[in-house]
Amino acid sequence: MPLPTVAIIGRPNVGKSTLFNRLVGKRLALVDDMPGVTRDRREGEAQLLGCAFRVIDTAGFEDEDPASLPGRMRVQTESAVREADVALFLVDARAGVTPLDEEIARWLRSAGTPVVLAANKAEGRAGEAGVIEAMALGLGEPVPISAEHGEGVGDLSEALQPWIDLPEEEAEDEDEDSPDAPLKLAIVGRPNAGKSTLINKLLGENRLLTGPEAGITRDSIAVPWEWQAADGTARAVRLIDTAGMRKKAKVQDKLEKLSVADALRAVDFAEVVVLLLDATKGLEVQDLKIADRVLQEGRALILALNKWDVAEDASRLFNGVKAALDEGLAQVKGVPLLTVSAATGKGLDTLMQVAFETRDAWSRRITTGQLNRWFERAIEANPPPAPGGKRIKPRYVTQNKTRPPSFVLFGTRVDMLPVSYQRYLINSLRREFDFGAVPVRLTMRAPR
Ligand code: GDP
Ligand code: GDP
C-alpha cells in the first residue's frame, strides 16, 4: 500500500532541506533505485506520531540559476504537490512574507491539495512578527517551527496528522481532549537520575505492557501501558521513550551527548513531562535548562526528586530545590515538586496522580463568559498602566487553544502592555482557573 505523501514546498532558503533531513534523517530513499523517478528528487520515509509517510523535498527542483527558477520550480513542484496528500508550505519567519511566498500561496489555494503552513526559523520565539504576518497568506494559522533546532515538531505533527495514515491503535485516541485518552508521558533527566529504573518500576508493577509500538519519531517509541490507581481504576498511559534511554548499554559512551537531544525529542511528543532529578545531586543548571525548554514548548512539567530513599537532610534539600526552581523558572511559579524512589516505588502513585491532574489542567477550556467575568475583575483590581500617557483599553479575552491553554487579549494598544502587567494577568488567570503550573499563553492583539 502506498504511504501518504507530504510535499515540502517553499521559496529557496526557507529551510526545506533542513526540515526534510530532520524528518527523514538518514533513511533517505535511494532515488536511483526507483524507476521513473527523476534524479534530483529527494524523497524519503519518515515517521511521526506512529504514522509512516513519504516526504518529498522540492528544494531539489530549484535551479542554480535564480532567473530561471520560477518556471522550473513551478512545473516540478506542481507535479509533486498534485501527487501529495498534503503540501507542507514553509515560510521564513525571520524574513517575513515575500512576494514569492504570496505567489506560491495563491497557487496553492487554487491547487486543491490540503496545505499545512509552517513558519520556520522561529527558534526561541524568534520571528514572532513573521509568524503573525504569515496568517495573511490565507492558509490558516502557521505552525512556528525550527527545522534546525527541532522545535515545534510536535505541533507540526499534530497539524499533519489528519493526512498521514493512522495506525489502528491510534485511531481510538483521536479525541485527545478526552480525559480518557492515553496520557502521553515523557520521563527526562540527566544520565543516572534513575529514568530507566523508574520506567521499569512503573511498567513492572503494572505488568500490562503490550510491547513497544513503531516509532513516534525515528528514535523513539511509545510504550502503551495502564496505570492502576490506588483506588483500583486503570488509566491508559503512553510512555514516550527514546533510544537513548532504552538502549542504554549500547550507547553508554554516547549517553552524555544523547541525553539532552533525546529529552527534547521526547518532549515534543509528550503532554506531561517528568523531569527526574537525583536527590543525592540536587538541581543543576542543566536541569533548569531542560525545564525551561519544556515550558517554552508549552508542555506541562512535573519535577520529581528521585532516590529519596537515600536522601540526606531531606527537608533542607527539598526546600533548597524548591527555592532554586521558583527562582530559576520565573515565568511559571509552583511547578509540582514531588519526591519519589524509583527503586522502592515510593511516591509513584502520587506522581501518576499528579501527572493526570496536570494533563487535565493543560487541556482545560474556559468559556468566554467565565473569562470575561474574571477579566473585568482583574483589570478593575489593577488597572493597566498608560505608558507615555496613552491609554490602553483591553476589551475582551478568548481562549483560542488548549494544550497548552492559550488566550488572546483584544483591545486598543494592548500590544503596548508592559511585560509585568501581562505577567500579572497570566498569574491571575492561572489562579482563577486552577491552571496550577502548566504553561499558559496570552497573546495581545491590537487592531491596526
Ligand atoms: P531550502 O533552500 O529551503 O532547502 O533551505 P535550506 O534547508 O537549505 O536552509 C537554508 C538556510 O536556512 C540554511 O543556512 C539553514 O541552515 C538555515 N535554516 C534552516 N532551518 C533553520 C531554522 O530553523 N533556524 C535558522 N535560524 N536557520 C535555519
Ligand atoms: P538513568 O541513566 O537516568 O536511566 O538512570 P538509571 O535508572 O540507570 O539509574 C542510575 C543509578 O541510580 C542506578 O544505579 C540505579 O540503581 C540507581 N537508582 C535509580 N533510582 C534509585 C532510587 O530511587 N534509589 C536509589 N537508592 N538508587 C536509585
The percent of residues in the chain predicted with pLDDT above 90, rounded, is 29
Q: Which amino acid is at 287?
A: D
Residue identified by cell 527526562 is: 188
| Amino acid letter, 215 | G
For residue 190, the ligand 2 atom closest to its alpha carbon is: 3
The residue to mutate among 8, 16, 18, having the most atoms of ligand 1 within 8 angstroms of its beta carbon, is: 18
How far is the C-alpha of 153 from the C-alpha of 261, rounded, in Å? Answer: 13
- Please give the average per-residue pLDDT across 321-331, as a whole number: 85
> Ligand 2 atom closest to Cα of 191?
2
Q: Distance between CA 386 and CA 416 in Å, rounded?
A: 9
**Residue 194 among known ligand-binding residues:** yes
More confident residue, 359 or 38: 359
For residue 252, what pLDDT band results from cuts at 50, 70 and 90?
very low
Instruction: Please say whether the beta carbons of 75 and 63 come within 8 A.
Output: no
d(CA 269, CA 241): 10
Q: Annotated binding residue at 61? A: yes
Sign, CA dihedral 69-71-73-76, equals: negative
Question: For the chain, what percent of residues have pLDDT higher than 70?
Answer: 79
Supply the pLDDT for residue 239: 81
pTM of the prediction?
0.58
- The letter for the amino acid at 289 is K
Query: Which atom number of ligand 1 is nearest to the Cα of residue 59?
Result: 4
Say whether the ipTM exceeds 0.85: no
Average pLDDT of the chain is: 79
CA atoms within 13 A on the CB side of 312: 2
Mean pLDDT for the stretch of residues 21-31: 61
pLDDT band at 41 (very low <50, low <70, confident <90, very high): low
Distance, in Å, from the CA atom of 439 to the CA atom of 405, rounded to the nearest integer, reads: 7
163 assigned ligand-binding residue: no
Q: Is 260 a residue whose pLDDT tops 60?
A: no
pLDDT tens digits along 130-179? 999 999 998 888 999 999 998 998 889 888 877 775 443 333 444 666 77
> What is the per-residue pLDDT for 444?
85
pLDDT at 355: 96
Cell of 18: 533542513
Residue 170 burial by Cβ neighbours in a 10 Å radius (0-12, 13-18, 19+): middle
How far is the C-alpha of 99 from the C-alpha of 102, rounded, in Å?
5
Q: Output helix, strand, coil percentages for the chain, rounded to the nearest 5.
A: 40, 25, 35
> Ligand 1 mean position to 123 CA, how many Å?
12
Question: Residue 60: pLDDT above 70?
Answer: no
pLDDT for position 175 = 60
